Structure 1
Amino acid sequence: MIVTTRAGERMTKRVTRRRLETNERLLDAAEQAFAEYGFHGVSIAELCTRAGYTTGAFYSNYSSKSELFLALFTRRSAVVLKQLGDALDEAIVSEHPMAAFVELASAVDEETRTWFLISTEFTLHAIRNPEAAEALARHDAAMRAAIAELLAPLLATARSKVPLKDPDMLMRLVVAVREGGLAQSLVEPGALPHGELERRFLPTLLGGHG
């Protein structure tokens, strides 16, 4: 029989906490560096220097920059889902829930811009790299499924102009409008204000005033 001592438990907790802190610092450093220099513009050694660690710390957590990006994706997904959930809670009690939700969900802040730069860089990498593409596709699919589940009550009561029997395809369309509009507005902010395409077309597409 193996007995875990209290001292052993305290040591495990310290190691786990230290590992979590190391991971968060690596993710923070990667987010900043990828946004500034691009996915291929910064080395693992440079990422570690930014985070204050050696490359050994990196490889104890990740096997590659691609794996690190996917961890960033997971962290960012949790933030986005929380934001969408808060927007849904506020919109669902309004007079026009769908329009209100789109208005709230289409907001763009500096974090949105930063993540768009990072994700676009990695998407280009994935297009050229089948292994990275397969991993990104899995993460994208999981995110679309989570958003579809979150929005299911809202979509069920809306007068949608597209079939709801294929929620994944619907989410692909929403993502295309969102990311395509964001790309254009970042290039031409004067001609296309942030969120304009979403606010103008998604409420009608997804069900008018619901």
Structure 2
Amino acid sequence: MPKGETKRRPRTRAALLQAALETFAEYGFRAAAIEQICERAGYTRGAFYSNFSSKEELFLALFDAHSERVVRRMTELVDSIDTEDLTVQALVDVLCEIEPAERDWYLVTTEFTLHAIRDRQAAWVLAQHDARLRAQLARALTDHLARAGRTLTVDADELARLLIAIREGGLAQSYVEPDQLPPGRLERRFLEPLLTALTTESRTP
């Protein structure tokens, strides 16, 4: 592969990912055409197929990038808190951070989830990516709670499932009724007592 192509490939891929997110959010995953994504990104179909084999593979790349970004952002915010100030409530405040751009991602991932429910193969593949996200989240939660002096009394993977369900369910209601339920409000009200009930104070040596 020529050196110029090697250097261009990450930029091409990044442009296609961003264009796909915008196109999926605007038209929907099923209705969006590869040609629309290419046109928005400023690349040809050949460039698309040199990076992705299908819209499904493109979505899953978006999914992984978004998951890594969310977990990394959460870890950075928690790490910026002094250990003596890191309480369960402080951790909850980090978990409740919802960026304005999250709405587009919510639209895209919700539609793909519905697609996966109807398609057994898509469901199997999505489940593998979901599992990787939960593993990252479970590790981060366990580590952050330990810094806050708390130890989980439940399975970390199951807790990650619950937190994802709460976040996605809360966002669904918030995007339908934004004036009545701003994003993150339910989590701010209920996650602190929930996490306290599902953890115990760590023993000090």
SS of 2:80 mapped into structure 1: helix
Which residue is 2:25 aligned to? 35
Q: Please point out which of 67, 83, 97 is paired with 2:57.
A: 67
Residue 150 of structure 2 is aligned to residue 148 of structure 1: no
Separation in structure 2 between the aligned mates of residue 139 and residue 112 of structure 1, nearest angstrom? 19
Which residue is 2:195 aligned to? 206
CA RMSD, 1 decimal: 2.0
Which residue is 1:180 aligned to? 169
Note if contact 1:159-1:206 (Cα within 8 Å) is conserved in structure 2: no
Note if contact 2:142-2:151 (Cα within 8 Å) is conserved in structure 1: no
> Residue 184 of structure 1: CA displacement?
0.5
Letter in 1 for 2:105: W
Separation in structure 2 between the aligned mates of residue 125 and residue 92 of structure 1, nearest angstrom? 43
Letter in 2 for 1:191: Q
Residue 110 of structure 2 is aligned to residue 120 of structure 1: yes
Give 1 or 2 for the bigger CA radius of gyration.
Answer: 1
Which residue is 1:52 aligned to? 42
Q: Please point out which of 26, 35, 38 is paired with 2:16.
A: 26
Separation in structure 1 between the aligned mates of residue 165 and residue 61 of structure 2, nearest angstrom? 23
Letter in 2 for 1:158: R
Separation in structure 1 between the aligned mates of residue 129 and residue 103 of structure 2, nearest angstrom? 20
SS of 1:194 mapped into structure 2: coil
Q: Please point out which of 163, 166, 181 is paired with 1:192.
A: 181
TM-score between both structures, scaled by the size of structure 2: 0.88
Unaligned runs of 5+ in 2: none
SS of 2:35 mapped into structure 1: helix
Separation in structure 2 between the aligned mates of residue 201 and residue 182 of structure 1, nearest angstrom? 15
> Residue 134 of structure 1: CA displacement?
0.9
Unaligned runs of 5+ in 1: 1-10
Which residue is 2:73 aligned to? 83
TM-score between both structures, scaled by the size of structure 1: 0.86
Deviation digits for residues 119-175 of structure 1, max 9, x if unmatched? 111111111111111111111110110011112123343276xx32x2111110111
**Structure 1 pair 129–92 and aligned structure 2 pair: CA distance change class (3 A):** farther
Aligned pair count reads 197
**Structure 1 pair 194–91 and aligned structure 2 pair: CA distance change class (3 A):** farther
> Residue 90 of structure 1: CA displacement?
3.4
SS of 1:39 mapped into structure 2: coil
In the TM superposition, structure 1's runs of 4+ consecutive aligned residues that sit over 4 Å from their partners are: none
SS of 2:68 mapped into structure 1: helix
> Residue 72 of structure 1: CA displacement?
0.6
Separation in structure 2 between the aligned mates of residue 193 and residue 52 of structure 1, nearest angstrom? 36
Separation in structure 2 between the aligned mates of residue 105 and residue 96 of structure 1, nearest angstrom? 13
Residue 121 of structure 2 is aligned to residue 131 of structure 1: yes
> Residue 186 of structure 1: CA displacement?
0.9
